[in-house]
Amino acid sequence: MVVESVSTDFAVGRWVVRPTLSRIESESGAVRITPRAMAVLVYLATSGGRVVPRSELFDAVWPRMAVGPDALSQCIVELRKAFEEDARNPSVIETVPKIGVRLMVPVAALGTNASPRAPISAAVVEHPAARTGGLRSVATAEAHPPNRQLRAARWAAAALVVVLSGALGAFWLSLENPAPIGDPLADAEFRRITDFVGAEENAAISPDGRFVAFVSDRDGAWDIWLGLAESGEFRNLTGGAVEELRNPAVRMLSFSPSGAEVLFWTKTTDADGTLTDHAWQVPLLGGELRRYRSAISELDWSPSEQEVVYHPSAPGDPLFVAPVDDPAAGQEIYAAPPGFHNHFPLWSHDGNTIFFAYGSPPDEMDLWQVSARGGEPERLTFHNGRVGFPVLLDERTLLYLATADDGSGPWIYALDLDGRKSRRLGTGSSEYTSLAASADRRRLVASEARLSATLWRATLDDSGTDAPTEVSLPTSRGVSPRVGPGQVFYRAPQAGTDTLWSLAADGTAAELWNGRDGRVVDGPSVSPNGDLLAFSVRSQGRRHLYVMNADGSEARKAGGRLDVRGAPAWAPSGDWLAVAAMHSGEPRLFKVAVTSGEVVMLSEDYALDPAWSPSGDFIVYTGADVGTQIEIKAVNADGTSRVLPKIIVSRGSRRLDFLGARDDMLVIAKGPVSHREFSLVDLVSAEQRPLSAFGRGSPIVDFDVSADGREIVFDRVREESDIVLITTATRE
């Protein structure tokens, strides 16, 4: 093939790829793909048919960005769809298990007048690194081309690599440094309208922008409060009538389309003792609290108000679209895989699209969209963080909350739906935990949060605990405590650089990890003799396993390229660590040899939060979410199966720890989000019984039991917050 001039467009088999248009063309038409998927394709095209390791693709397409392992998988799914191929019988893109991805068809540069509908004679191009002795190319026109043709084919191949490499460089530049979009809140007025002692969460605003509702514990219990936005005076609507009214992880509060009722969703116990999702309704001007719908967790109305989108609290949080007057007749449009969730469903302005947050809550979520009639979902953001509360500001601007790559936030972000680019808005240092908008989008309400976190300790035995005492800390906040010989280790949350500290019994404190090389994202695990710590660090889009001395020296990575999830657990021998890590899109259980670095997969099950038994014989862990229910499972230390009686705990009870030297007793934190107490789980009988009665206070999140089983340390984490009214500038 002779190419006299080369453009950035190129051919992949019978398809024409136009990177500058993010488009793939064939005789059957043109398909638009996302810029990230195009960047993956361009990189594969420069690789000469070799298998490109997944790690290399991540480094090339998402340099210095915090993305999860599914980012690449989604791009591959998108490309397969554009190339009209079946993943089970690929003809264009091959995924080689545990290795990487490659293009299976010839790649060729195109002349400026190339037609997507004409057959293309392609040159097979190999990446220079794939062979020693320089670049090689093979022209397909003849088996033994004359020297002139061979030179032309070599020139074309070399030109293609140069051009595509340049195109990829342009993609890197555009994706890392997106063209700035306007700040829709640049001229907005921010005004705090509550000053309660306590927290105000899940703020909602009426369609006309006059009334504001939120969830607060101002009177002790969590209730719905309502008032005029301008007055600053609010009244308690529910008065303790509903059992559990706090769930900051979802949009559980809104107004009806008419604005005449306040609606909220919560789990309540039916007369037969069944825990069920219910939607409740309270008239705005006063009246009886009544049930509105059952088996609904979140709901949004279409622009025509003739349909609703909702999901029940069921495996995969399946999204349904249904007529307003008959939700039972809903059509399922998308369900997440086991262990993953869909939250915050939201209709587009034209009623054709549903926006939603998808992932593993709370800290590995992103925004996606799917047709309101069903189909393949499309990813819109790449935070892989705490993402939620989307609101449409206009036809092309979606506001939402998300944590930054360094873990700080959540902040308010704006997504340009046309350009598929998002940016953090300039709202100062305020962190927000909810966001809602009036029908005309002239007014927004948000919960402005301030985190407080304290550590506590109590003596413990299998009959219960005594009253806890607060631990005096050298830092302003402390979470995820772990007990070591004569000291406590904990995380100190800061603005994106969570650090690791030790606190000795005599009050001596030391910072062990300063966060500059990544933030500690879970509690550390203390080795049996107390001389080593193992912990996970988020850096450059992955979560790495680290081991270091208990004095903070000699920190080193362990576990190779494992993308870990949650806290690790030491074997009683001190030779191995058990840790959950991503594999084939889900967390699996591995063990890592501390000295040699050997990595062994122990189970093909979905697995998180391992705890090694005191005898060292087996490891317990938690399985995938089924709604809000999770099963405790086990595997023997050699990887063989181990059967437990069926033990079910709620989503907030994932942290497991053994009681002293007993293989048969686990300690968990059990209860609703706002009030957890400790319970004891018998691994033989499956019986669960209360272990503490501390009473209401800041919620317990993480804890640790001392090796002798005589002490428990735990954190209490609370988000103090106020409601902020945001009045946007007039938009034409």
Write the secondary structure of 564-630 as one string of H (helix), E (strand) and C (coil): EEEEEEECCCCCEEEEEEEECCEEEEEEEECCCCCEEEEECCCCEEEEECCCCCEEEEECCCECCEE
Average pLDDT of the chain is 83
pLDDT at 150 over 70: no
Q: Which two tokens stand for residue 87?
A: 């993943």
Looking at per-residue pLDDT, the higher value among 321 and 168 belongs to: 321
What pLDDT, on the 0 to 100 scale, is given for residue 69?
61
Looking at per-residue pLDDT, the higher value among 399 and 361 belongs to: 399
CA-closest candidate to residue 331, choices 374, 286, 294: 374
CA distance 378 to 625: 23
Reduced DSSP (H G I as helix, E B as strand, rest coil) percent helix, strand, coil of the chain, to 5: 10, 45, 45
- Let me know: does 385 contact 66? Beta carbons within 8 Å: yes
pLDDT band at residue 385 under the 50/70/90 scheme: confident
CA distance 720 to 722: 7
688: region left, alpha or beta (phi > 0 left; psi from -120 to 50 alpha)? beta
pLDDT at 657 over 90: yes
Angle between helices 35-45 and 70-82 (to 10 degrees): 80
pLDDT band at residue 128 under the 50/70/90 scheme: very low
Q: How many residues does the chain have?
A: 732
What pLDDT, on the 0 to 100 scale, is given for residue 272?
61
Q: Which two tokens stand for residue 711?
A: 């002490």
pLDDT at 420 over 90: no
What pLDDT, on the 0 to 100 scale, is given for residue 718?
82
Looking at per-residue pLDDT, the higher value among 494 and 31 belongs to: 31
What pLDDT, on the 0 to 100 scale, is given for residue 275?
59
Q: Identify the DSSP state of 306.
A: S
Pairing of strands 200-205, 688-690: unpaired
What pLDDT, on the 0 to 100 scale, is given for residue 274?
60
Looking at per-residue pLDDT, the higher value among 662 and 159 belongs to: 662
Q: Is domain 189-441 classified as CATH 3.30.110.40?
A: no
Q: Which amino acid is at 221?
A: A
Among 24-38, 174-188, 272-286, 471-485, name the most confident range.
471-485
pLDDT at 628 over 80: no
What pLDDT, on the 0 to 100 scale, is given for residue 418?
85
pLDDT at 401 over 90: yes
CA distance 238 to 516: 46
Q: Which two tokens stand for residue 168?
A: 């990829």
Predicted confidence (pLDDT) per residue in 178-226, tens digit: 455 678 998 899 999 998 777 889 999 999 999 999 999 888 788 999 9
The verdict on pTM exceeding 0.75 is no
Looking at per-residue pLDDT, the higher value among 12 and 98 belongs to: 12
What pLDDT, on the 0 to 100 scale, is given for residue 7?
42
Secondary structure class of 464 (helix, strand, coil): strand
pLDDT band at residue 496 under the 50/70/90 scheme: low
CA distance 431 to 493: 14
Fold of 451-717: Neuraminidase (2.120.10)
What pLDDT, on the 0 to 100 scale, is given for residue 156?
44
Looking at per-residue pLDDT, the higher value among 24 and 533 belongs to: 533
Q: How crowded is the C-beta side of 124, counted as CA atoms within 13 Å?
A: 12
Angle between helices 35-45 and 147-176 (to 10 degrees): 150
What pLDDT, on the 0 to 100 scale, is given for residue 129?
29
CA-closest candidate to residue 617, choices 603, 634, 633: 634
pLDDT band at residue 61 under the 50/70/90 scheme: confident
Span of 104-118, 122-136, 466-480 with lowest mean pLDDT: 122-136
Which part of the chain is CATH 2.120.10.30? 189-441, 451-717
Looking at per-residue pLDDT, the higher value among 14 and 462 belongs to: 14
What would the mean pLDDT of 661-673 be, rounded to a whole number?
90
CA distance 225 to 389: 19
Looking at per-residue pLDDT, the higher value among 320 and 57 belongs to: 320
Which part of the chain is CATH 1.10.10.10? 10-176
Q: How crowded is the C-beta side of 617, counted as CA atoms within 13 Å?
A: 8
Q: Is cis: bond before 145, omega within 30 of 0?
A: no
10-176 — its CATH code? 1.10.10.10
Q: Please, where are the H alpha helices in 620-695?
A: none
Start-to-end CA span in the chain (Å):
55
What pLDDT, on the 0 to 100 scale, is given for residue 730?
58
What pLDDT, on the 0 to 100 scale, is given for residue 5?
29
pLDDT at 99 over 60: yes
Q: How crowded is the C-beta side of 495, counted as CA atoms within 13 Å?
A: 4
CA-closest candidate to residue 95, choices 106, 79, 112: 79
